[in-house]
Chains A and B, each alone.
Chain A
Amino acid sequence: MSDSMDLDAALRSFDGFARVSQPEAPGMISLRAKTGTQGLAKAVKSVTGTGLPGQRAILHDGPRAAAWMSPDEWLLILPRADVTAALATLSAALAGRHHLAAEVSDARAMFRIDGALAADVLAKLTPADVAHLPAGEIRRSRLAQVAAAFWREGGGISVVTFRSVGDYAWGLLVNAAAPGGELGPARQDA
């Protein structure tokens, strides 16, 4: 792979039977609190503009989103510039309530898969049922040997992995999207 530049360098993209690209990861906050925590829904709304997502759901408001990660964990996505203020907002809104909010923007690598066959790329790497992944659902699963989360967004698929394996994930996606690797039949037979 000639394209293995450092994560901190320029964004990269690859055109195969689908387009794979790596934008800079947006701001992300890992928020832990139980669903019924007083003030939680309001706190999340003030940060992401969305409601509190239900099981396996992701709710969007422009560039911001809130995703359900587990019964007591949420992933809040927002512009990087807003993270510091958002952490202060959460801290104030949930003062005295048991919670943990931590920035994880730098712990993540983000990828996009676009094109009519975007789902084929992912179906080659994850055991999740990508063909039946509805818009508005986030799946925590894996890409080959590493953890990943993904959801449909803007006509394509957004994928998040850990930062340290960003190059591995990039290599996987490029390899999976390489021309000739489509999932349809190689030849038609009667």
Chain B
Amino acid sequence: MTARLATFGRLIDRSARIAFTFDGQSMTGHPGDTLASALLANGQMLVGRSFKYHRPRGILASGAEEPNALVNLGQGGTFEPNQRATTTELAEGLVAESQNRWPSLAFDIGALNARLARFLPAGFYYKTFIHPRPFWKHVFEPVIRRAAGLGKAPKDRDADRYDQAYAHCDVLVVGGGIAGIAAARRAAAGGKRVILAEMTPHWGGRAPVEGEAVEGRTPADWIAAGLAELSANPNVRLMTRTLVAGLYDHGYVLAEETRGHGPVVKRLWRIRAGQVVAANGAHERPVPFPGNDVPGVMLASAVRDYLVNWGISPGDRTVILTDNDSAYLTAIRLAEAGLIVPAVLDLRPVVQGELPDRVRAMGIRVEPGRCIVKVRGGARVAGVGIGLAQGEGAVLEEIACECVAMSGGWTPAVHFHSHCGGKLLWDEGLAAFVPDPARPALNHDGRALVTTVGAAAGVFDTAGAVAGAARVPGQGAPGRIPGPVPVAAPPALRAKMWLDFQNDVKVSDVELAAREGYVSVEHTKRYTTLGMATDQGKTSNINGLSVLGAATGRAPQAVGTTTFRPPFAPVTIGALAGEARGDLFQPLRRTPLHGWHEKAGATWEPVGLWRRPYTFPRAGETTAQSVEREINNTREGVGILDASTLGKIVVKGPDAGRFLDMLYTGVMSTLPVGRCRYGLMCSEQGFLMDDGVVARLGPDEWLCHTTSGGADRIHGWMEDWLQCEWWDWQVYTANLTEQFGQIAVVGPKARAVLEAVGGMDVSREALPFMAWAGGSLDGHPVRVFRISFSGELSYEISVPSGQTLALWEKLVAAGMAHGIMPYGTEALHVMRAEKGFIMIGDETDGTVIPQDLGLDWAISKKKPDYLGKRGQERSHFHKADRWKLVGLDAFDGSVLPEGAYLVTERINANGQKEAEGRVTSTYYSPTLKRGIAMALVARGPQRMGETVHVGRIDGTRVPARIVNPVFYDPKGERQDV
């Protein structure tokens, strides 16, 4: 059993109790506990099951590197899976649940997998489920997905509040240990803006546990003095509970601050740092020995953390297995707590040094050249068998114990050096990779973006860490190359040596991968899933690549390491989303009339980020009936449309005419003041990308209307040409889309409505078709354009946005006598299709040039150049069988399927029926009382009257006749009255 001692526990407040539950069982802990320390205090070592074999899993580590102790946390709207017990602070009422077990943690059906372990080797899924192919998607994958997996997916909407914030600094220091505090002090003393971020709630890192004096003071005193100095400096921001997750180019850093159960649970910091100092320490390595995954086998540093920080006894008897001196500190602390250390097994044949000598002097048995060859116990360590480190696994002696504290050396956490591409060096003394100070990731100025200090740089001595010293290459004697013990273990024992505890990857799996030809560490990782679990291989990386190296006859540095990618540790998705949820998920652009439409019961169509009314259904009407009513009312009486989203760009200057002649396919420079002209804009490749009516406002001033979705893009397109190519042309543009609302009054009675409002002469003589006039309507300053997208008499009225609603209401009131009704985008679309007017995005898709659409009349033949002219001269566009715009009239009068192909009897090389065109727009026309459609058809305009066949999804075909695309009022008499 693990238990709480009466001594030690520097981080807990024993005067207060916190109640929580684990798998429904009530437990208590103290303020200052992590969930892991509280579970251990309650005797709970078993915390979960592994991913593949459902092996019992206990707490291994004491920090972010923990692979095993993952729990479901919370319930309902605050449920979070895969939370590490070692980094979760205990809170009153916390509800934790173990993962990946059924029906219970102690008795788990899935553990049968472990019995089948020899049939589930590395690459098992790849090998077994590859044939027959369709089975993977429909049978194997769903079953495997249900059986595997760790935490449950949350079912409820996340009830927590998250936010984000930006911060800026000259120097960001990652890690609040003594190396980080010292680095922050140096930077702050130089007058820099400094952020010091520590992921735990506590400053000082490992120093208070290890106990070694820092610059002649106790660690606690030194840390307190350093923090006092930093907090007094207004240029320094100290942040605890802040996990620096990723470092990106140009000093962009993402960090997640955990704020507990306050209103904001987590905050994502987006930090722009001039320079980053990585002082984020190192991770202790497990030793791959047979049975090293049995609960009760822990990292030696974790055992002393739990003891010193939280007063946890790991059991009465702890056997220590190590290949370095640091684990001897664990023996010393355990002995100081009055616990038994039956033996320290040291893999090194000769053991000398200050710490081992101290341990020997305490009367603790130290056994050089020995290792553990066997672990007794299933759900908890009961004893170990000792054998020769260099041997084959013979048990020389058995020792009863409840805990094994292991140390296979230390791996500097080189993540932040590596995130932006810094290179690593293999350090023989540490038997680990360390940052290469000569090859760091670079900042915009060519200087190092990140420097690494302390244990993260391989500098483990206190003085060096505080000084920010660099690791001296080749320092000390070569360390043991990490690898399995006993060294000559047979395959049966190698299959019990875990490398990756969460994903169940063993020494035998990596060796099998090597035998099967996997040489690259990246391939082996993916084949075996080594290091691919939520801990991202913090404890398994070096051991795994050492095993791969040994199996392929290479040194670890020749094997190399996998890529270190952000995040350093998992980040909550809610924090990444920040405020972008619900109403704030995406901006909604509202026209000045949006509120009126809402009250009128409009149904909506998204157009870019705008919402436009699709139609205004009345009580009892279907959508189709509503659209039909709006169309009939507009064609026979008068309708009113909110056209405010239309792009409105003013172009002005001595070269404005010349500029527009380049932008549009037609000629705009000759347009008289007071007149309007329809224009097309093409990309340089010749494809049609936008259209609209241009009005000439003055001698050197034009107003370009663009499509609703195109306003910002076209404005950017204009500025691109003006700033980058024609920078010497005197032209200014202003995007006034939002300055003006635009109201279209449409239909035979439109003039009567405007006259009823009064203020302007809108007669045919004063304001003919394709003209515009400025004036005022009942006191509102307006520009009235005689342009028509419906084929009817139409006035488009531009009025300042702040007055749009007032004018709209006056027009509606004045129009009552004439039966005025608002209409939406669907009626707009049907009416334009009845007239054969094209719509950008329906008739065009980025492969269509204006000539395909019969718009040759809007393309100037005389102009020497315009954007797209050269592109349109490519031979492909002039082939005789080019698909061109026509109308289609279904024999049965039905509405043809949208986007459908026109199929032929010809068979292509792939055995498919060849298509000779496709439907681009198709509607029921209330005006004509039958379906109408536009289509792009091979040689279409030359095939008037011919029959084509439109394919339906169900395989049947609809015969249709090729007709003129202008179905309604082909002479255009109605709009010009």
Spell out A's residues near B (CB within 8 Å).
1, 4, 6-8, 30, 32-33, 72, 98-100, 102-108, 120, 123-124, 126-132, 144-146, 162-168, 171-172, 175-176, 178-181, 183, 185-187, 189-190
19 contacts between A and B (CB under 8 A): A8-B592, A8-B595, A100-B733, A102-B734, A105-B800, A107-B736, A107-B738, A107-B801, A123-B165, A124-B164, A124-B166, A131-B168, A145-B580, A145-B586, A168-B588, A175-B163, A183-B165, A185-B240, A189-B201
Knowing A32-B732, A172-B579, the reply to whether A124 touches B203 (Cβ < 8 A) is no
Identify which of A100, A124, A178 contacts B650 (C-beta below 8 A). A100
How far is it, in angstroms, between the C-alpha of A189 and the C-alpha of B583 when the chains are bound?
A: 35
Indicate if the CB atoms of A190 and B163 lie closer than 8 Å: no
A162/B264 in contact, CB under 8 A: no
Known A-B contacts A98-B654, A172-B584; the reply to A106 vs B734 at CB < 8 A is no
Q: With A and B bound together, what is the CA distance between A189 and B238 in angstroms?
A: 10
A162 to B733, CA, bound (A): 17
Query: With A167-B588, A168-B584 given, is the CB distance from A106 to B738 under 8 Å?
Result: yes
A47 CA to B584 CA, complexed, in Å? 38
B272 within 8 A of A: yes
Known A-B contacts A8-B802, A106-B802, A171-B584; A181 and B163 likewise in contact (beta carbons under 8 Å): yes
A186-B259, A189-B240 known; A171+B224 contact, CB < 8 A: no
Residues of A within 8 A of B260 (CB): 186-187
Q: If the complex has contacts A8-B805, A124-B165, are A162 and B738 also in contact, measured as CB distance less than 8 A?
A: yes
State which residues 239-259 of B face A: CB under 8 Å: 239-241, 257, 259
Contact with A along B188-225 (1 / 0, CB 8 A): 00000000000001110000000000000000000010
For residue B259, which residues in chain A have a CB less than 8 angstroms away from its CB?
186
Q: Measuring CB to CB, which residues of chain B are less than 8 angstroms from any residue of chain A?
A: 161, 163-168, 201-203, 224, 227, 238-241, 257, 259-260, 262-264, 270, 272, 579-580, 583-584, 586-592, 594-595, 609-610, 650, 652-654, 730, 732-734, 736-740, 800-803, 805
**In chain B, what residue has the closest Cβ to A8?**
B805
Inter-chain contact B239/A185, CB cutoff 8 Å: yes
- B610 touching A164 by the CB < 8 A rule? yes
A8 to B345, CA, bound (A): 79
List residues of chain A with CB within 8 A of the CB of B801.
Answer: 106-107, 163
Chain A nearest CB from B791 CB (Å) reads: 29
B residues less than 8 Å from A129 (CB atoms): 166, 168, 272
Taking A32-B732, A124-B164, A189-B202 as given, write out 20 further A-B residue pairs in contact, using a Cβ cutoff of 8 Å, ordered by the A residue number. A1-B583, A4-B583, A30-B734, A100-B650, A100-B732, A102-B736, A106-B738, A106-B800, A123-B165, A123-B167, A127-B272, A163-B592, A163-B738, A166-B590, A175-B163, A180-B161, A181-B161, A186-B259, A186-B264, A187-B201
A6 and B595 form a contact (CB under 8 A): yes
A32 cross-chain contacts in B, Cβ below 8 A: 732, 734
The 4 tightest CB contacts between A and B, nearest first, are A180-B263, A100-B732, A107-B738, A164-B589
A123-B166 CB under 8 A given contacts A168-B587, A187-B260: yes
> In the bound complex, what is the Cα–Cα distance between A100 and B734 (angstroms)?
8
- Across the interface, do A171 and B583 meet the contact criterion of CB distance under 8 Å? yes
Q: Which residues on the A side are within 8 Å of B609 (C-beta)?
A: 165
Chain B residue nearest to A166 (CB atoms) is B590
Which residues on B sit within 8 Å (CB–CB) of A103? 739, 800
Across the two chains, which residue of chain A brings its CB closest to B595?
A6
Give every chain B residue within 8 A of A4 (Cβ-Cβ). 583
B231 to chain A, nearest CB (A): 10
Question: In whole angstroms, what is the CA distance A123 to B168 when docked?
Answer: 10
B607 to chain A minimum Cβ distance, whole angstroms, is 12
List the A residue with the shortest CB-CB distance to B581: A175
C-alpha spacing A165/B654, complex, angstroms: 34
A6 to B589, CA, bound (A): 12
Between B272, B583, B738, the greatest number of chain A beta carbons within 10 A of the residue's beta carbon is seen for B738
Q: How far is the CB of A81 from chain B (nearest CB, A)?
A: 13
Give bound CA distance, A108 to B738, whole Å.
Answer: 8
**B contact patch SS:** mixed
Residue of A nearest to B801 (CB): A106
Q: Which residues of A contact B239 (CB under 8 A)?
A: 185
Chain A residues within an 8 Å CB radius of B201: 187, 189
CA–CA, A175 and B582, complex, Å? 12
> Number of A-B pairs whose CB atoms are under 8 Å?
139
Docked Cα-Cα span, A15 to B136, in Å, equals 57
CB closest chain-B residue, reference A103:
B739
Residue contact A181 to B263, C-beta cutoff 8 Å: yes
CA distance A126 to B270 in the complex (A): 10
CA distance in complex: A132, B169 (Å): 10
Q: Which residues of B contact A189 (CB under 8 A)?
A: 201-203, 240-241
A145 to B581, CA, bound (A): 12
Max count, chain A CB within 10 A of own CB: residue among B227, B264, B739: B739
A127 touching B227, Cβ below 8 Å: no
B738 in contact with A181 (CB, 8 Å): no
Q: In the complex, A180 Cα to B261 Cα: how many Å?
A: 11
Interface centre among B163, B227, B588, B594 (most CB of A within 10 A): B163
Task: Write out the residue numbers on chain A whose beta carbons fall within 8 Å of the beta carbon of B272.
Answer: 127, 129
CB-based contact B591/A99 at 8 Å? no
Across the interface, which residues of B come within 8 angstroms of A132, CB to CB?
168
| A175 CB contacts on chain B under 8 angstroms | 163, 579, 584
Closest to B201 in A: A189
Residues A106 and B264 in contact, CB atoms below 8 Å apart = no
**Once the chains bind, are A179 and B584 in contact (CB under 8 Å)?**
no
Checking A1, A102, A105, A165 against B589 with a beta-carbon cut-off of 8 angstroms, the contacting residue is: A165
How far apart sit A176 and B201, CA to CA, in the bound complex (Å)?
25
Cα distance, A11 to B163, chains bound together (Å): 26
A107-B739 in contact given A102-B734, A186-B262, A189-B202 (Cβ < 8 Å): yes
B590 to chain A, nearest CB (A): 6
Taken together as a complex, chains A and B put the C-alpha atoms of A98 and B728 apart, in Å, by 12
Whole-angstrom distance between the Cβ of B701 and the nearest chain A Cβ: 8
Q: Which residues of B contact A123 (CB under 8 A)?
A: 165-167
Q: Is the beta-carbon distance between A179 and B263 smaller than 8 angstroms?
A: yes
**Is B740 a contact of A106 with CB atoms below 8 Å?**
yes
Whether the pair B579, A102 counts as a contact (CB closer than 8 A) is no
The CA-CA distance from A152 to B260 in the complex, in Å, is 33
A131: shortest Cβ distance to chain B, in Å? 7
Q: Which residues of A contact B263 (CB under 8 A)?
A: 178-181
Q: Are A100 and B653 in contact (CB under 8 A)?
A: yes
A167 to B259, CA, bound (A): 29
Nearest A residue (CB) for B261: A186
Closest to B652 in A: A100
* Cα A33 to Cα B580 with chains together (Å): 38
Which residues of A are found within 8 Å of B167, using beta-carbon distances? 123
- Pairwise interchain contact B165-A102, C-beta atoms closer than 8 A: no
A-side contacts of B587, CB under 8 Å = 144-146, 165, 168
With A127-B272, A171-B584, A181-B163 given, is the CB distance from A164 to B591 under 8 Å? Answer: yes
A146–B590 CA distance with the chains assembled, in angstroms:
13
Q: How far is the CA of A171 from the CA of B588 in the complex (A)?
A: 11
B654 / chain A contacts, CB cutoff of 8 Å: 98
Whole-angstrom distance from the CB of B788 to the nearest CB of chain A? 26
State in angstroms the CA–CA spacing of A6 and B804 once bound together: 13
Cα A132 to Cα B167 in complex, Å, equals 11
Residues from chain A with Cβ under 8 Å of B583 in the complex:
1, 4, 171
Cα distance A11–B862 when bound, in Å? 55
Contact A167 B590, CB 8 Å, known A100-B650, A131-B168: yes
Q: What CA separation (Å) do A175 and B260 show in the bound complex?
A: 19
> Contact: B163 with A124, CB < 8 Å?
yes
In angstroms, how far is the closest chain A Cβ from the Cβ of B227?
A: 7
- Are the CB atoms of A127 and B734 closer together than 8 Å? no
Contacting residues, chain A, for B589 (C-beta < 8 A): 164-165
Closest residue to A102 on the B side, CB-wise? B734
Residues of B within 8 A of A128 (CB): 166
Whether A176 pairs with B163 at a CB distance below 8 angstroms is: yes
Residues of B within 8 A of A30 (CB): 734
| Bound Cα distance from A178 to B801, whole angstroms | 30
Contact in complex: B732, A99 (CB < 8 Å): yes
Which of chain B's residues has its CB closest to A187's CB? Answer: B260
Say yes or no: A127 contacts B166, CB within 8 Å: yes
